[in-house]
């Protein structure tokens, strides 16, 4: 089973991707991880990826395409994969079509106010790196390992508003693109992690039958 997971920033794509990958024995592929691994392992794709990342520039689509093709040749992808947050634009979607076959595109459909409240009331553990709701903290300490917690610098309304606007401009056209192909499945993303995952399981269990 080959899956793409779409959704606005802060909608929980990373969390749900990991849960999906574990339940259905799929490779979890994040383009961010691909780029970091390429830099760490000096993978030659014709450009200096680190130079792009160091100045905050977007890595060309063709480069990410090459990295994906390399990743998809790995042994752990034989049972399928889930692409976490990629493609982000129509251009990337068209490029992927040349070498990817998708079974389903999941859309985590969460609204602006819900996500904004979620990200502005969360903290990250400095020890185990868990992302936690502020209501879970015990005297501002992580309830899992007892370490101190901190707020991510980009977990604020101004930054989120900009990211959400970019998402609407560049990524929402993908919704109609995949809907036309008949493989888009929308999931209500306004809820807790397990509540959302239960809805995803209903969809994917139907795909695998």
Quick one: which H or E segment has residue 3?
A: strand 2-6
Task: Enumerate the domain spans of the chain.
Answer: 2-26+79-110+167-208
Which residues are known to be catalytic? 13, 88, 122, 152, 163
- Virtual torsion, Cα 30, 14, 137, 134, nearest 10 deg: 120
pLDDT confidence of 182, banded at 50, 70, 90?
very high
Q: Looking at residue 102, what DSSP letter applies? A: -
Return the SS3 of 167. Answer: helix
What's the number of CA atoms in the CB half-sphere (13 Å) around residue 60? 9
Helices 157-170 and 112-120: crossing angle in degrees, nearest 10, is: 140
pTM tops 0.85, yes or no:
no
Helices and strands (H, E) in the chain, number of each type: 9, 8
What's the pLDDT score for residue 88? 86
pLDDT of 107-151, one tens digit each?
Answer: 999 999 999 998 899 999 999 988 888 999 999 999 999 999 999
d(CA 206, CA 201): 8
**CATH class entry, domain 2-26+79-110+167-208:** alpha beta
pLDDT of 74-99, one tens digit each?
Answer: 899 999 999 987 898 899 999 999 88
What's the pLDDT score for residue 46? 63
């Amino acid at each position: 089973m080959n899956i793409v997971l779409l959704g606005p920033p802060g909608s929980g794509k990373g969390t749900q991707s990991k849960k999906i990958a574990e339940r259905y024995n799929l490779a979890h592929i994040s383009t961010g991880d691909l780029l970091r691994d390429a830099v760490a392992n000096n993978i030659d794709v014709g450009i200096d990826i680190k130079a792009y990342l160091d100045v905050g520039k977007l890595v060309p689509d063709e480069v990410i395409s090459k990295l994906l093709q390399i990743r998809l040749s790995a042994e752990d992808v034989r049972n399928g994969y889930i692409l976490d947050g990629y493609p982000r634009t129509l251009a990337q979607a068209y490029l992927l079509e040349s070498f990817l076959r998708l079974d389903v595109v999941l859309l985590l459909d969460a609204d602006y106010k819900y996500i904004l409240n979620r990200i502005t009331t969360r903290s990250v553990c400095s020890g185990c790196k868990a992302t936690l709701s502020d209501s879970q903290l015990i005297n501002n300490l992580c309830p899992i390992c007892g370490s101190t917690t901190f707020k991510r610098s980009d977990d604020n309304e101004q930054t989120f508003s900009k990211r959400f606007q970019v998402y609407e401009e560049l990524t929402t056209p993908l919704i109609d693109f995949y809907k036309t192909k008949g493989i888009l499945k929308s999931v209500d993303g306004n809820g807790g992690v397990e509540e959302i995952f239960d809805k995803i399981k209903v969809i994917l269990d139907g795909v695998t039958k």
